[in-house]
A and B are shown apart, each in its own frame.
Chain A
Amino acid sequence: MWKFILRRFFVMIPQLFILSLIVFALAKQMPGDALTGISMDPRISPERIYELREKAGLNDPWYEQYGRWISGIIHGDFGKSYTHKIPVTEVIAERIWNTVFLALITLILTYLFAIPMGILSGRYNDTWIDKIVTGYNYLGFATPLFIFALIMLFVFGFSVGWFPTGGSVSSKVDAQTFEYYVSKLHHVILPALSTALIATVGTVQYLRNEIIDNKFKDYTRTARSKGIPDNKIYTRHILRNSLLPIAAFLGYEITGLVGGTVIIETIFSYPGVGQLFISSIGLRDFSVVTAIVMMLGFATLLGTLLSDIILSLVDPRVRVE
């Protein structure tokens, strides 16, 4: 077991290395570097700029620059933001908790919807309740997140006015008070709900299929022929087998959320990392962009790692491959 986890961990190291190389190469491709602002200034002579570039190490071979860059990252130094004039880590730190909070609420909602829906439609398949869930699944599967989120914002944000249409907290409340947290929750519900209602579809589908599959397995028949009541068969046997893989998908779910944050935070003007990413690209603040890509890339790699590990704990067959 430990061998599998350890090996899986070691697989991640080259992945991280390649990721960092790609991000570094992309960063080099991005127009402008730390001294672009200065070199536009006519009062500074080209010789002086060259000197500055030399000093900043921008004329060194790429691998030396990469070495400095990566060792900085390992020490938590992502450089400085051009627009905010403060270290990138601080810019991101301001936003990261908003994103984590949003992701957490989204995950909770996703499973809150998925598990009852999946169980009901799997257990009572081909009844009216299953038809409703399946129909919902069809629609959810075909609806792109950004359109659904826009419509949600239009209806519940603007038309009905139940939820705020932007920001992460109302400016009228004081920090650390009870109202402050209520306001935070109020702001996060609509984006989280929009994502969860779409994201839940995959899990519902999977759970339903798992339950239907398990329903006709021999072990279920054995249990039934022994006279075990149906309810008990479900709680003791079928659900246990069907829910475990769902738990394992947690990590992949996180990976999926990372992609969604960019869209959802932009639509709801929610000040998280995803929105920061889009606005930084607009502002050409590339040190922030690279830092975010590197961080979220790391997060998705971790998500996949997490799922692989849970999956191997749950299902020993995975370990063999």
Chain B
Amino acid sequence: MGLLKIDDLKVHFPIRGGFFRTIVDYVKAVDGVSFELNEGETYGLVGESGSGKSTTGKAVVKLNDATSGRILFEGQDLSKLSFGQMKPFRKDIQMIFQDPYSSLNPKKRVVDIIAEPLRNYERLSVGEEKKMIQKYLDKVGLSPDSMYKYPHEFSGGQRQRIGIARALTLKPKLIIADEPVSALDVSVQAQVLNFLQDLQEEFKLTYLFIGHDLGVIRHICDRMGVMYRGRLVEEGISEEIYENPQHIYTKRLIASIPDLNHEMREKKTNLRKRVAKEYEQNHSKYFDDLGRAYDLKPISNTHRVALR
């Protein structure tokens, strides 16, 4: 059964204008998105910047308010809850942020950063708390004496591990990882990704993994959804989408992945030209008159595409 079910989620931001600063239009950051996460799986959301993938993730933890739609977590609708009412659920849903530099308060020691959620939810003695933090530092591969250091004494990869440790302390069921590796050096990216997968097994975590790199997403996600302009255009098992993309946007996304293999280069160029042509010719097959993607339709049990 689904751990998280997102049903026709919309997040609209008002644009104010005119004489009295009234609302003249909306930015439809997320415009009718539905998908489901099963326990223990990793679900990826891909798309270009501004496609609404981060907004979707942030709506789940209420960093953005949902305009309409439902966010069902273990059957409970989170979308209507207030900031205060949300508190008990935050224990189960944690987030890992994109920028390891700004996501840790520079004025706090590691011990205070990691203990922040613990202090909000549990009453632990100083000794218990210390033991707990040491345990999690160990889990993310940092030495116990990092406890009294400040974030600026660590590298980007290490900082991201601190952020992960912080998200783990409450033993959450779901972790929303908002581009957790895109701010890191390429050499560290794989390391952190593998490490996230190890943690998943150990703590039985479910990931909602947000990213813009289709290669990364395919590598770590069981299923994925491709977002474009606030809509899902294709959704299903990662392998299936990657090998057999149906929507033109997915095709373009895949075509854009650079290939290091020398001989493949020409083939790739041809593929790109073909896709670009198809995009021009069959635009109406994929988008309606307003440039909005159609609703998803199943083409198999595990694969849905937004076609007319």
Which residues of A line the B interface, CB within 8 A? 3, 6-7
Contacts and interface: CB of A to CB of B under 8 A. Distances in A.
A59 B59 CA distance: 61
B19 interface: yes
Interface string B1-19: 0000000000000000011
A6 B21 CA distance: 13
4 contacts: A3-B18, A3-B19, A6-B19, A7-B19
Contacts of A3: 18-19
B19 to A, nearest CB: 6
A3 B22 CA distance: 14
B123 to A, nearest CB: 45
Contacts of B18: 3
The 4 residue pairs across chains A and B that have the minimum distance between CB atoms: A7-B19, A3-B19, A6-B19, A3-B18
B71 to A, nearest CB: 32
Contacts, number: 4
A40 B18 CA distance: 58
B274 to A, nearest CB: 39
Contacts of B19: 3, 6-7
Nearest to A3: B19
Interface of B: 18-19
Interface of B is mostly: loop
A6 B19 CA distance: 8
A82 B19 CA distance: 46
Nearest to B17: A3
B225 to A, nearest CB: 34
Nearest to B20: A7
B291 to A, nearest CB: 25
A7 B19 CA distance: 7
Nearest to A6: B19
A5 to B, nearest CB: 12
B20 to A, nearest CB: 8
A170 B19 CA distance: 53
B6 to A, nearest CB: 33
Contacts of A7: 19
Contacts of A6: 19
A15 B159 CA distance: 50
A7 to B, nearest CB: 6
A205 B201 CA distance: 60
A30 to B, nearest CB: 38
A6 B18 CA distance: 11
B237 to A, nearest CB: 45
A6 B20 CA distance: 11
A106 B19 CA distance: 37
A34 to B, nearest CB: 42
Nearest to B18: A3
A312 to B, nearest CB: 15
A281 B19 CA distance: 42
B24 to A, nearest CB: 12
Nearest to A7: B19
A3 B24 CA distance: 15
A3 B19 CA distance: 7
Nearest to A4: B19
B149 to A, nearest CB: 34
A7 B18 CA distance: 10
A129 to B, nearest CB: 38
A206 to B, nearest CB: 30
A73 to B, nearest CB: 28
A270 to B, nearest CB: 44
B141 to A, nearest CB: 41
Nearest to A10: B19
B129 to A, nearest CB: 45
B246 to A, nearest CB: 41
B100 to A, nearest CB: 28
A146 to B, nearest CB: 41
